[in-house]
Structure 1
Amino acid sequence: MTKTADSSLPWRITGLTADAKDIDDFLLTLATNDCSPQTLRSYAFDLLRWWRFMAAVGIRWDAATREDVRDLVLWMRQPHQAGSRAYSPTSINHMLSVLFVFYEHHARLGQGPVANPVPSAAMGMRRYEHHNPLAPYQPRKRAPYRQRVITGAPRALSHDLVNRVFTTLTSTRDKALVAMYLATGARASELLGMKTRDVDWGSHTIAVVSKGTRVYQWVPTSPDSLTWLRLYLGEMPLNSPEDALWRTLRRPYRPLQYSALRAMLVRVNKTLGTGITLHDFRHTCASRLPMTRPSLLPTYRPS
């Protein structure tokens, strides 16, 4: 998988010769339909997984059958290494949705198998699509091979665990970033895309580009998160309002990447023996919004 400089096709699957054009054509169609680069990246990863599976079992994409998709689902339901976990039901369902759209795209071009190897219920409609919110839900069957997703309580972090995370973090930047996660509920891509000009200190708001609508909008944050941000900016030289707000701590200073956030969280989980994800901070913010606690974040106390 390679990130390209081509804005019309920001992600490509490399290493394939005969089938690269078929995948590029599908991704290019998605990009033309105004799908975000994050969506293209997600779809490309699922296609790459499918191509690796087909290479392992010795089949071609245009000769795949429903039984091959069934075997893929069974493979994804099993852990593959000691200590590893199987793919989640939502990951499996997303994979099936991507493959269904991929094969539908090529069927319209007269390519691929005669029948879509990914089964779908109700002519490809999602369950409860176009449901009237005033009408009661009627039970509908899941499409074949789709997994049952049990919705439980959100993975919110306790106040004690948040304090332990802050104690484990070693840099002011990381503490400021986690504080902003917890105070705003913004996504990782939204925070990492911020510029220096995207902070309104007087109204306690920050500006982000929404992942879904890609609209530049202001969202409220807390005084505590701005305190951590002020301490971080006191250590980070920023010369222009167009500078990236979140940057590496060592020279040459560069915009912070998602991989660096993952590495930071890996260190935290290794120290605490936890399995916290970046999205858990978003759940934590959402679960604490109705609470009347005056402060949801560890308060800065100078030593």
Structure 2
Amino acid sequence: ELVTTDGQPVEDAERFIHTLILRGLSPRTRRTYAYDLLAAYRWMAEADRQPEQFTGDDLVAFIDYLQRPPSASPSTINRRLRLLQRFVQFLTGTAPVVDAWRQYAHALHFHSRSRRGSLRIKEPHRVVHPLKDAQMLEFYSSLRTWRDRAMVLLMWAEGLRAAEVLDLTVNDIDAAGQSLRIHGKGRKQRIMPLAEAVATTLRIYGQLERPTTSSQAVFIVLKGPRRGAPLSMDGLRRIFRYHRTKSGIAQANPHRFRHYPEFRIMPSRLCIGRRLLGILTFVRNSTRHNQRSFRKVRSESSGRKRFAFTSGSLVFSSIRCLAARSASTYTWTVSRFS
């Protein structure tokens, strides 16, 4: 909740956040919007403004405030602008707009998809620089637990986000059907084919490392006072920070692993179109259940990612052999993820 300097809750902000709860937004989204409102209220306190007094010129002044060092990113500024307009509209019934907006045309424009003309600044196109095969192998070889290996493989081979990896539950993994149910952004679910090396690594982790716990989360804290509790996002970041230092690969982060397969498929390396390759590879690695989910999987670009790690890639071949060789040294009769 938002509170004033004397500890009193801000009623207007609390009412607005309550509407976000009623809309069914996720806790992470509500937390982000709460911090955006906090930034807006700090600016209003400095500028001696109230939400009921907002005009289009105040939006421009708010942009100037957000661009002070350390400046917020353009995407953050646009998100806070949209939220501030919705907040003012929630209180007054009318969203503020810039009447003489043409004088700011060099940097500002109205969003074409918004009926009320949402004010925005230009966002630069960000390019994700891929890891090289040698860097990928070096970082992976620094991992010492099957839990960490499984998380990295899920990001790299399946293209999962860090939050999607942590949100996985035991019931989301269908090792027999070789499929994976993913809880994505906006509480959207999708079904992905499960690669053989990923399934093997998950199975070894579940049998040899995962503590006995009542939690349904797949990835659990392995040691310490929180042993048996679900792994948090802070814990995942600490794991990556530690192994970045250990391996010397400073660029390794979950986002790069998620987008790594896209850089394995360059147009110059293909003899036929991407779509055909994705279809051929999907059929090759599919089951009846995956075929029923073909359209959904294809919409998530899993066809391209699937080709990336089944086409003889040096990295995936090495990891697949490592997982198979390690799995052959163990014997088990019951699988927690089967």
Instruction: Work out whether the TM-score is over 0.5.
Output: yes
Kindly state the Cα deviation for residue 26 of structure 1 after the two structures are TM-superposed.
0.7
Q: Does 1:278 align with 2:254?
A: yes
List per-residue Cα deviations over 1:85-118 (Å, max 9, x = no partner): x43221211111111111111112xxxxx87277
After superposition, residues 128-167 of structure 1 pair within 5 angstroms as 128=113, 144=119, 146-167=120-141
- The answer to whether the Cα contact below 8 Å between 2:164 and 2:182 also exists between their aligned partners in 1 is yes
Higher Rg of the two aligned structures: 2
List per-residue Cα deviations over 1:264-296 (Å, max 9, x = no partner): 223344453635443333222444425363355
Q: Does 1:180 align with 2:169?
A: no
Q: Identity of aligned pairs, percent? A: 25
SS at structure 2 position matched to 1:283: helix
Which of 7, 24, 27 is residue 34 of structure 1 equivalent to? 24
Aligned to 1:102: 87
Structure 2 CA distance for partners of 1:119 and 1:197, relative to 1, 3 Å: farther
Which of 77, 88, 105 is residue 73 of structure 2 equivalent to? 88
- The answer to whether the Cα contact below 8 Å between 1:51 and 1:61 also exists between their aligned partners in 2 is no
Kindly state the Cα deviation for residue 246 of structure 1 after the two structures are TM-superposed.
0.6
Q: Please, what TM-score do these two structures have when normalized by structure 2?
A: 0.65
User: What is the alpha-carbon root mean square deviation over aligned residues?
Assistant: 3.5
Aligned to 2:274: none
List per-residue Cα deviations over 1:160-205 (Å, max 9, x = no partner): 3322322343433122111111122223332212222322223322
Inter-partner Cα distance in structure 2 for 1:118 and 1:26: 23
Number of residue pairs aligned between Structure 1 and Structure 2? 266
Q: Which structure has the higher relative contact order (CA within 8 Å, separation 6+)?
A: 2
Whose helix fraction is larger, Structure 1's or Structure 2's? 2
With 87-96 and 286-295 compared, the bigger mean Cα shift is at 286-295
Q: Does 1:51 align with 2:41?
A: yes
SS at structure 2 position matched to 1:207: strand
Aligned to 1:264: 239
Inter-partner Cα distance in structure 2 for 1:107 and 1:23: 13
**Structure 1: gaps (5+ residues):** 1-11, 81-85, 109-113, 131-141
Inter-partner Cα distance in structure 1 for 2:22 and 2:253: 32
**Structure 2: gaps (5+ residues):** 102-108, 265-304, 330-338
Which of 136, 143, 157 is residue 169 of structure 1 equivalent to? 143
Inter-partner Cα distance in structure 1 for 2:84 and 2:135: 39
Structure 2 CA distance for partners of 1:18 and 1:63, relative to 1, 3 Å: farther
Kindly state the Cα deviation for residue 48 of structure 1 after the two structures are TM-superposed.
1.8
Q: Does 1:214 align with 2:224?
A: no
Inter-partner Cα distance in structure 2 for 1:265 and 1:74: 35
Inter-partner Cα distance in structure 2 for 1:207 and 1:157: 27
AA aligned opposite 2:180: I
Structure 2 CA distance for partners of 1:105 and 1:120, relative to 1, 3 Å: farther
Inter-partner Cα distance in structure 2 for 1:19 and 1:239: 38
Structure 2 CA distance for partners of 1:96 and 1:212, relative to 1, 3 Å: same
Structure 2 CA distance for partners of 1:105 and 1:218, relative to 1, 3 Å: same
Aligned to 2:278: none
- The answer to whether the Cα contact below 8 Å between 2:36 and 2:83 also exists between their aligned partners in 1 is yes
Kindly state the Cα deviation for residue 21 of structure 1 after the two structures are TM-superposed.
1.3
Structure 2 CA distance for partners of 1:178 and 1:119, relative to 1, 3 Å: farther
- The answer to whether the Cα contact below 8 Å between 2:2 and 2:38 also exists between their aligned partners in 1 is yes
- The answer to whether the Cα contact below 8 Å between 1:120 and 1:143 also exists between their aligned partners in 2 is no
Structure 2 CA distance for partners of 1:191 and 1:231, relative to 1, 3 Å: same
List per-residue Cα deviations over 1:131-163 (Å, max 9, x = no partner): xxxxxxxxxxx965x222233544443333322
Kindly state the Cα deviation for residue 230 of structure 1 after the two structures are TM-superposed.
2.4
- The answer to whether the Cα contact below 8 Å between 1:185 and 1:283 also exists between their aligned partners in 2 is yes
SS at structure 2 position matched to 1:250: coil
Structure 2 CA distance for partners of 1:182 and 1:61, relative to 1, 3 Å: same
- The answer to whether the Cα contact below 8 Å between 2:25 and 2:186 also exists between their aligned partners in 1 is no
Inter-partner Cα distance in structure 2 for 1:88 and 1:119: 25
Kindly state the Cα deviation for residue 67 of structure 1 after the two structures are TM-superposed.
4.7
Structure 2 CA distance for partners of 1:265 and 1:54, relative to 1, 3 Å: farther
